[in-house]
Amino acid sequence: MSYRWTEWAQKLQSIAQNGLTYSQNDFDKDRYRQIQLIAAEIIAEHTNHQPEEILDYFSRDNGYATPKVDTRGFIIREDKVLLVNEKIDGLWTLPGGWADPWATPSENVEREVFEEAGYMVKAKKLLAVYDREKQGHLPKLPYRVYKMFFYCEITGGRPTPSMETTDVKFFPLTNLPQLSLSRVTAVQIRRMAELVSKPELPVDFD
């Protein structure tokens, strides 16, 4: 299935946001707002949202348009991978989430693992940097996301659910539970295991 509409909407929104950031001319700003509305209408046509909702979301971001960053921690023990159950959809994923701008990528993933799973970890190696749009995640989003996967080692703590998670468990790589495909796929999890087991392999990207 083609999802070219997401690419078109993302490009239009980026052009509009950048134009509204740097333009000094009111007439030009009005044209950029019209472009933004077109992007919102494209997204609304393919989702359950109204154009007004999309525009409200667009308005929360300002400055030069850049991708968002999602960090994920990969912890493996005896061929079992650590997963958390997301409260929002009841499905399983690698612990992680949006990166805070005041922390480094490794600090972000270590914090996310502790907050979602209860384990203190040390990020040991960057395994992959993926463009969410190219990885088959659903649903499609109106913005670009770069997903950073880190191999982490447990240094302390104990399995503890959080405000965002309901359970924390290790699962065999050969018997994964139903995954939250918006966040992670089985292909990605097994690829991370391969990258950990073969440290001579380079970092995956795109």
Domain extents in the chain: 4-59, 68-205
Q: Is 0.85 surpassed by the pTM of this model?
A: no
Q: Measured between alpha carbons, how far is residue 146 from residues 7, 79, 184 in Å?
A: 15, 27, 12
Place of tokens 């308005």: 59
What is the per-residue pLDDT for 1?
Answer: 43
d(CA 49, CA 59): 15
d(CA 16, CA 10): 10
Torsion of CA 135, 118, 170, 110, to 10 degrees: 40
Low-confidence ranges of the chain (pLDDT < 50): 1
What is the per-residue pLDDT for 20?
Answer: 92
CATH 3.90.79.10 is held by the domain 68-205 = yes
Nearest partner of 129 among 51, 205, 184, judged by Cα: 205
What is the per-residue pLDDT for 58?
Answer: 86
What is the per-residue pLDDT for 195?
Answer: 98
In DSSP notation, 27-95 reads HHHHHHHHHHHHHHHHHHHHSS--HHHHHHHHHT--SS---EEEEEEE-EETTEEEEEEETTTS-EE-S
What is the per-residue pLDDT for 59?
Answer: 83
Q: What are 149-160's pLDDT values in tens digits?
A: 999 999 999 999
What is the per-residue pLDDT for 40?
Answer: 92
Q: What are 29-64's pLDDT values in tens digits?
A: 999 999 999 999 999 998 888 999 888 888 878 888
As beta bridge partners, residue 54 has none
